[in-house]
Amino acid sequence: MSDRKQWFKLDLSGNVYPTLQRRSFSSTFRVSISLNEKIKPDILQKAFEKTLPRFPTFKAAIRKGFFWRYLEPNPNPAPMVERDVKNPCMPMNLRSKHRYLIRMYYYENQISFEVFHSLSDGLGALTFLKTVTAVYLRMQGVAVPNEEGVLDIDEEPKMSEMEDSYMKYADSKVTPKRSQGSAYRVRGTKEPFYTLNIICGSMEARQLKAAAKKHGVTITEYMNAVLIYALVENQKNAKTWKERPVRIAMPVNLRQFFPSNTLRNFITMVYPGVDPRMGDYSFEEILRQVHYYMRYYINDKFLRADITTNAQTFRSPFIRIVPLWFKDITVKQFYKRVQDCQSSAGLTNLGVIKVPKEMEPYVERFDILMGQPFSPRTNCAIVTYKDIATISFASSIIENDIERIFFRKLVQEGIEVTIQSNRD
C-alpha cells in the first residue's frame, strides 16, 4: 500500500478523545499480560519492533487538518520498551518528538501496553499485546501458532482491520436521545498531578461465576449490580442534600452484533442503573433491574440506532465545513455538560481471554486498566484468563470508599478476593 492509502480518518469514537486532551488528562488505557518468568527487555524490544509494522493504526501519528484530525504513517523507530512506572496511563503527548501514541512497559514477569483511545479499543490493544507476546516467546524457541487473536506479522495488514465500522453500520431510521440526564457524582479529594490510584482484586473465576449463577444473571450483569450497590451505599453515607440516579457507563463491543474485523474503536455505551429517589433498592432488586435493562437494550436494533445518532453529526454537511477549532470547543462542552454527567462510574468487561494452546503454559494472567477518569471518580475494568478474574479500579481521588464497599460485597457473597494496590 502506498503512504497515501495509509492515511486514515479517525473513527467515530476516535474523533472525541483528542478534543478532551488536556495537560492533566489523556484518554489512555492499559492491557497487561503476566508470564511465568522474568521479562527480558532486550528481546521484548525486538519483538515490539518486529510486530509494530503489522498494525498500521498503532504505527501512526495524529495530525491536525483544518476541518478534521487524521492518522498518518509514523516513520520514526518504535518507542523504547521501558521499566514500568508507579503511576500508569499518564497523559499522552500528542506532539512528542517520536509522535507515537503507544507505550510498552515491563516489570518482573509482566508486559504492559498502553494506548491512546483514538487508536483502538480494548480488543485491538489486546490483539497487539497477544501478538507481541507470541513473537517474544517465538524468539526464545516456543512455537506459537497464529490463532486465538495472534496475528501473522509476516502477513500484509488487511483493510478490514483498519476500517471505521461505525460508519458502515450506522444506518438506522431512528436516532435516540444522547442524554440520559445527570447521575450521582462521587465527591472526593483530588490527588496531586499525575497520581493514579489503583486497587486490583483477583479471585477464582469459578467463584465469581457461581455467585452470578446463583442470582440467575451473567457475570457482566452481576459486576454492574455490585458496583451500582456500592455507589448507592456511598451516596447514602455521604448524606447528599439531593439524591440522584446511579448509573454505570459500560462499553459494549459491537463486534458481537455486527460483522467486523476492525482493530480500531468499535464500541458504544449503555447506562444500567437505579434511581434511589424511587425508594430503597435491595441488592436483589438492583440485580433484576440491571438484568432486564441489559436484555432490553443490548441488541443489534438499539445499538445500531445509538451509533447512528453519533454518525449523523459527522455526516452533516454543515459540521463538515466547520473549522476544527470550533468543533473542539463544541464537543468538549457537550462532553463536560452532558456525556460525563450522565454516569456515576465506568465499568468495562473484556471477557474471557484465550491464547493459543502452545502459549498457555507461559501465561499466568491478564489485567486491564481503564486509566484516569475525565472527572474525579473511579473506573472499573474486568478481565478473565483461565480461572483467574481480575478487577482493577483506577481513580484520581484519595477516598476509596466505593472500592471498599465493592470488594466487601463480593466477600459477603462468598468470593475470596486478594487485593493489590499502588497506594502507599
Residue-level pLDDT at 2: 42
Task: Enter the pTM of the model.
Answer: 0.93
Q: What is the mean pLDDT of residues 298-305?
A: 94
Domain ranges of the chain: 9-152+163-169, 197-421
The pLDDT value given to residue 56: 94
Q: How many helices (H) and strands (E) does the chain have?
A: 11, 16
What percent of the chain has pLDDT above 90?
A: 71
DSSP 246-261: EEEEEEEEGGGTS---
Of the listed ranges 94-103, 241-250, 278-287, 358-367, the least confidently predicted one is: 94-103
The DSSP H or E segment spanning 284 is helix 283-297
Instruction: Please state, in angstroms and as integers, the Cα–Cα distance from residue 33 to each residue in 142, 264, 365, following that order.
Output: 17, 20, 6
- pLDDT at residue 39, as a whole number: 97
Mean pLDDT of 401-405: 95
Q: What is the mean pLDDT of the chain?
A: 91
Burial class of residue 378, CB neighbours in 10 A (0-12, 13-18, 19+): buried
Q: What is the average pLDDT across 65-80?
A: 90
**pLDDT (mean) for 245-252:** 95
- Residue 371 in this model has a pLDDT that exceeds 90: no
Q: Which residues of 135-159 are buried (b: 16+ CB within 10 A; e: fewer)?
A: bbbbeeeeebeeeebbbebeeebee
Say whether pLDDT at 30 is over 50.
yes
Q: What is the pLDDT of residue 292?
A: 97
61: region left, alpha or beta (phi > 0 left; psi from -120 to 50 alpha) = beta
Span 9-152+163-169 CATH architecture: 2-Layer Sandwich (3.30)
The arithmetic mean of pLDDT across residues 336-359, rounded, is: 91
Residue 257: pLDDT band with limits 50, 70, 90 = very high
Which pLDDT does position 1 carry in this prediction?
40
Which strand (E) or helix (H) includes residue 270? strand 267-270
Q: What are phi and psi of 107, to 5 degrees?
A: -160, 120
Average pLDDT over residues 264-289: 95
Q: What is the mean pLDDT of residues 108-113?
A: 97
Fold category of 197-421 in CATH? Chloramphenicol Acetyltransferase (3.30.559)
Strand partners, 111: 33, 106
For range 286-311, the mean pLDDT? 94
Q: How does pLDDT run across 32-69, given as a tens digit for each residue? A: 999 999 999 999 999 999 999 999 999 999 988 888 88
- Over residues 126-154, mean pLDDT: 96
| Mean pLDDT, residues 184-211 taken together | 90
pLDDT, position 189: 87
Strand partners, 384: 352, 389
**pLDDT given for residue 323 in this prediction:** 87
Would you say the CATH fold of 197-421 matches that of 9-152+163-169? yes
Q: 4: pLDDT confidence band, cut at 50, 70 and 90?
A: very low
pLDDT band at 402 (very low <50, low <70, confident <90, very high): very high
Beta bridge partners of 113: 31, 104
Give, in degrees to the nearest 5, the angle at Cα 392 between 382 and 412: 85
Instruction: Tell me which of 12 and 135 has the higher pLDDT.
Output: 135
Check whether 399 has a pLDDT greater than 70: yes
C-alpha cell of residue 274 = 437505579
With beta carbons less than 8 A apart as the criterion, state whether 258 and 172 touch: no
Q: Which residues contact 114 (CB under 8 A, 6 or more apart)?
A: 28, 29, 30, 88, 89, 102, 103, 104, 105
The reported pLDDT for the residue numbered 340 is: 84
Orientation of helix 401-412 relative to helix 219-238, angle to 10°? 130
- Per residue in 138-150, pLDDT (tens digit) is 999 999 999 999 9
Give mean pLDDT, residues 242-255: 94
pLDDT at 5: 52
Length of the chain in residues, anyone? 424
Q: Look at residue 96 and tell me whether its pLDDT is greater than 80.
A: no
